[in-house]
A and B are shown apart, each in its own frame.
Chain A
Amino acid sequence: MVTRGFTGRRPTAAFARRLPPGQFETDDFPVLAKGPTPEIDLAAWRFTLSQGPRPLASWNWAEFAALPRTQWQGDIHCVTTWSKFDTRWEGVSIDDLLAAAGVAPPSAFLLALSHDDYDTNVPVADLVGGRAMVATHFDGQPLTAEHGGPARLLVPHLYFWKSAKWLKGLRFTARDEAGFWELRGYHMYGDPWKQQRYSDDP
């Protein structure tokens, strides 16, 4: 349906190719969160891989910082319709995390767990094979608290609510369990190229 008088502001052709449907490009780095930004003490920080209630491996901040590092540069897409291009991240890939723990994924799904009681579900296949990391740095600097520091999940090929801020662990689940937003009307998978924003989007 054409809106009378609306012309819009087109991205360049090069940008348009990189922009999933329904998104716009921004230089800003918007902040979205369900509640206050938590203050996280690095001395008390722990990251835990678990299978259901059972811990598989766990690292304190110094141990985590000693794991192999991975860098990634590319575009991120938020369900609220902004996209940000050429973002630069550094952290520990999920592949390296699993290798350091000496475990193979015990199930095909997991919940990413945050310090503010947020959680979000991601298929394990979307996290391994170099597709995701636990990011501790953005643009060469330690990740700020507003953007999820000290550590957040980075799954750039899914809408950014899947890239949980203030990450404290990954919990493997027997089945695909809905997380915080997935229980509140958002899509279980969240592919930006298919516009999987809300639960009944195909």
Chain B
Amino acid sequence: MSAQGPTRWQEAVIERIAPLTPRIVSVVLKADLARHVAGQHLDVRLTAPDGYAAQRSYSIASAPGRPFELIIEKLDDGEVSPYFHDIAQAGDAIEVRGPLGGHFIWRAGDGGPVLLVAGGSGIAPLMAMVRDWACTAAALPLMLVCSARTWDELPFGEELERLEASRADFRFVAAITRSPGHRPSDRTQRLDAPALRELIARWGHVPRHVFVCGSNRFVEGVTRGLADAALAAGMIRTERYGGAE
């Protein structure tokens, strides 16, 4: 483990970079950083030859103790994400610091039942929680609801299907909004209050911890729906990207 604090910039080497969906790449890093807690992020810094630098935060999608995996969605007007999509290759070095963040996190000892709701690339920190849960937690109900426009745009779909087949206490629901569902259990409507209420009722558990991650618009819609479904605001943690007028 690293002897330095989490905020010191360090070199990380890209071990593997591969598309997860048409717009999202998975970047696996080799870096001498402290073990993370599921839900934490890394800061990434890229530097041009003249010293100009840009930095962004990316949630870690891998389980604690595993090599750091970031998932990066290409933003058409982005500055950092196009580098990972169009330029970066295995063997390239970047700078990172972390792991960082002490609120949007879950440890096996925090218990459950746990409800995770992801919109698009917002699945990253929730995937770390699912993977951590799969390695460490005793029987503990966990439901992951992922929204994507099509099944092909949903990261980690096959891994999540396999996990659902192997663990009775894991429920995986894909909410596919722009095409037919991939599986009979998939939903094809928006995650509004009635849809969320029905999903929770069918799950049969009252969540103790709820994590919602995605665009601001997605998180606002889901958290309003959860409030209408009578979940207390105090148990719901959010992480958002993008803005509102």
Within 8 A of B (CB), among A27-79: 28-38
Given contacts A8-B46, A28-B243, A35-B238, whether A3 and B94 have CB atoms under 8 Å apart is yes
Binary contact readout B25-68 vs A (1 if CB under 8 angstroms, 0 otherwise): 00000000000000000000011110011111100000000000
Q: Are A201 and B83 in contact (CB under 8 A)?
A: no
- The answer to whether B242 has its CB under 8 Å from any CB of chain A is yes
Size of the B side of the interface (Cβ < 8 Å), in residues, is: 44
Q: Which of B125-133, B156-164, B220-228 contacts A (4 or more CB under 8 A)?
A: B220-228
Q: Are A146 and B242 in contact (CB under 8 A)?
A: no
CA distance A181 to B100 in the complex (A): 11
- The answer to whether B177 has its CB under 8 Å from any CB of chain A is no
B143 to chain A, nearest CB (A): 18
Give chain A's interface secondary structure class. Answer: loop
CA distance A22 to B9 in the complex (A): 13
- The answer to whether B138 has its CB under 8 Å from any CB of chain A is no
Given contacts A4-B92, A185-B101, whether A29 and B245 have CB atoms under 8 Å apart is yes
Size of the A side of the interface (Cβ < 8 Å), in residues, is: 41
Which residues of the partner chain A approach B52 to less than 8 Å between Cβ atoms? 8, 10
Q: Are A2 and B226 in contact (CB under 8 A)?
A: no
Given contacts A1-B93, A22-B55, whether A8 and B79 have CB atoms under 8 Å apart is yes
Give chain B's interface secondary structure class. Answer: mixed
Q: Are B244 and A24 in contact (CB under 8 A)?
A: no
- The answer to whether B236 has its CB under 8 Å from any CB of chain A is yes
Q: Are B236 and A7 in contact (CB under 8 A)?
A: no
Given contacts A1-B11, A185-B100, whether A146 and B244 have CB atoms under 8 Å apart is yes
A146 to chain B, nearest CB (A): 5
A10 to chain B, nearest CB (A): 6
Which partner residue on chain A sits nearest B5 by CB separation? Answer: A200
Which residues of the partner chain A approach B88 to less than 8 Å between Cβ atoms? 5
Chain B interface (Cβ < 8 Å from any Cβ of A): 5-7, 11, 46-49, 52-57, 79, 83, 87-88, 92-95, 100-104, 216, 220, 223-224, 226-227, 233-234, 236-238, 240-245
Q: What are 9 A-B pairs at a CB distance below 8 A?
A: A1-B93, A8-B48, A8-B54, A26-B243, A34-B238, A36-B236, A181-B103, A199-B7, A200-B7
